[in-house]
Chains A and B, each alone.
Chain A
Amino acid sequence: MLSETLRQNAIVTAVEAFDADAIAAGKLERGELTLEIAAAKIASICGFLKYDQKFVRLSSVTAVDRYPLEPRFEVVYHLHSVEQKQRVRLKCRLESDEPAIESVTSVWRGANWYEREVFDLFGINFLNHPDLRRIMLPDDWEGHPLRKDYPVTGTRI
């Protein structure tokens, strides 16, 4: 399923050697490498990329809602290697029914607020997160505004 050009990429080869089942798909478009990772393995792959492949920085964590498609959510991680001046995007797909994924705060403490933001605005749960609560909206807010089925205008009655 991975194309030949991708297999020649050093990062892809390293990740495949580390865990052959982890990469579900991948693409290299507009000079940006995207790897689709099996959701259950995200923390271990992130740990590998950080400590073995020198991706010391987590640039951001965010999500995309593909409503009404299934699997509905994509959690997107942007990693940055300062030394090699490289970036890689990791992506995990989650079903709409109680979306949850392992937190990467154990790898980068900086993931804390980014994951809280995704939790707040998308309603995706991060397991083993040290402080998972809303960050942008008030604690008693209902709903998750960045979901596609959340209305843009209107008044709550």
Chain B
Amino acid sequence: MSDQAIPGISVTAVAEEPPKPGPHRMVLNMGPQHPSTHGVLRLLLELDGENVMKCQPDIGYLHTGIEKEFEQKNYQQAVTLTDRVDYLAPLSNNLGWCLAVEKLLALEMPPQAQWMRVMLTELTRIQSHLVWLGTHAIDIGAMSVFLYCFREREDILRIFEMFSGQRMMTSYFRIGGLALEPPRGWQQRVKKFIDGFPSKVDEYESLLTNNRIWTGRTKGVGFISLEDMLDLGVTGPMLRAAGLKIDARKDEPYTSYEKFDFEVPTRTENDVFARYQVRVEEMRQSARIVQQALEGMPAGPWKADAPHVVLPDREKMKTQMEALIYHFKIVTEGFRVPEGEVYQIIESPRGELGYYVVSDGTTHPYRVHMRTPSFGNLQCTPILIHGALIADVIASIGSEDFVLGDTDR
């Protein structure tokens, strides 16, 4: 093999050696439009035969400057931006943002709002894991699982539509509660879905768990030590598949998660198959939480009692002077948030999602930083696939479950 550079690859001079061709070495450019990267991720691979000797991920193709955009919106408007970061888990992002700002405002949510938030974020978790399972299976060659997963995902999206009027960009959680009153008949819809769901998970498992091709492609593939993962900032199901029982819902409970009974599934094998098992078990646990939320949903208000933040009811606005003034103030300029900074963590389907919000006392956030799980998880890729076969690269990066919108922001 010659030392000639391969056309189409331009690497900027860097201190750390990028992959480069040489004797017995070939550089392969994977992406940014590769079907298995689920978005625009580019991996620069240095190959020795079929083995990956070096990898350099190249991200930023979906960078939209969303953190700058936050500074231009008022706090309530910014909810719509959070949907678009991790577009597979919009409600988790809504929740993280709302909790951060509510912490700054020192707002206490009424029980129904909290439980409704728990229920919908857990449905989001199921939905996100379903997309992951379907696409991950398709990458490894199991076509049919995709169709089953998307069938159930569609049911969840219809529930979201019922609540918020939107299937994906829900923006249903607002600072101070929920956007709309829960729709009539939501209990029946959620109940119908959640009663049937555990048997559907059995169905996926019957297609995959003992499938020889599936186990052959996933068992013993994509190993990375727990120490490496902690050092590199990996969070979520990947850590749990390595035996570390870490889950923000248990460790740093928010939105009354401490009132729910659920397990944090862990495995110790630390390979692609273990990550699959953890996520499948998480779907079952989320279904349990949804079940509990459905049965024990408290009655009462679904918005906080904070007239300076939450828009008044239509009825009040038309009859009471004060309500009208508040309405006018909130709509025209937004509400002021006390000066300070918070770092709010939630457990998103992909791992630790953190919102760092700095307020300068005005109606617009001064600075917002999103610590997104995909960004941290993707960083371990070079170590995860080091020495692996090129076919296993697909299985390994699939097991990270990243969303490029979440990575690039």
Contact = CB atoms under 8 A, between A and B. Distances in A.
A135 B65 contact: no
A109 B340 contact: no
Interface string A69-84: 0000000101000100
B356 A62 contact: yes
A59 B354 contact: yes
Nearest to A57: B230
B299 interface: no
B343 interface: yes
B68 interface: yes
Contacts of B16: 130-131
Given A32-B342, A110-B233, A60 B369 contact: yes
A112 B379 contact: yes
B42 to A, nearest CB: 12
The secondary-structure label for the interface of chain B is: mixed
Contacts of A150: 68
Contact of B232 (A34, A109, A130, A137): A109
Contact of A132 (B15, B358, B408): B15
The secondary-structure label for the interface of chain A is: loop
Nearest to B69: A152
B13 to A, nearest CB: 9
Contacts of A138: 60
B320 interface: no
Interface string A103-145: 0000011101110000001000000011111111111000001
B43 to A, nearest CB: 15
A136 B369 CA distance: 15
A139 B231 contact: no
A125 B178 CA distance: 42
A135 B367 contact: no
A64 interface: yes
Given A34-B341, A82-B246, A108 B233 contact: yes
Given A60-B354, A137-B63, A65 B14 contact: no
B63 A146 contact: no
A137 B366 CA distance: 22
Contact of B369 (A32, A57, A62, A133): A62
B231 A108 contact: yes
B233 A30 contact: no
A135 B60 contact: yes
Given A30-B103, A64-B358, A131 B14 contact: yes
20 contacts: A30-B103, A30-B104, A32-B341, A34-B341, A58-B233, A60-B356, A60-B371, A62-B369, A87-B345, A89-B341, A108-B233, A110-B233, A110-B376, A112-B379, A130-B15, A131-B15, A133-B12, A135-B59, A136-B63, A152-B68
Q: Give the top 8 A-B pairs by smallest Cβ distance, nearest first.
A: A110-B233, A60-B371, A131-B16, A62-B369, A136-B63, A136-B60, A110-B232, A64-B367
Given A59-B233, A65-B367, A108-B231, 9 more contacts: A62-B356, A78-B356, A82-B244, A110-B234, A130-B15, A131-B15, A136-B63, A145-B65, A146-B67
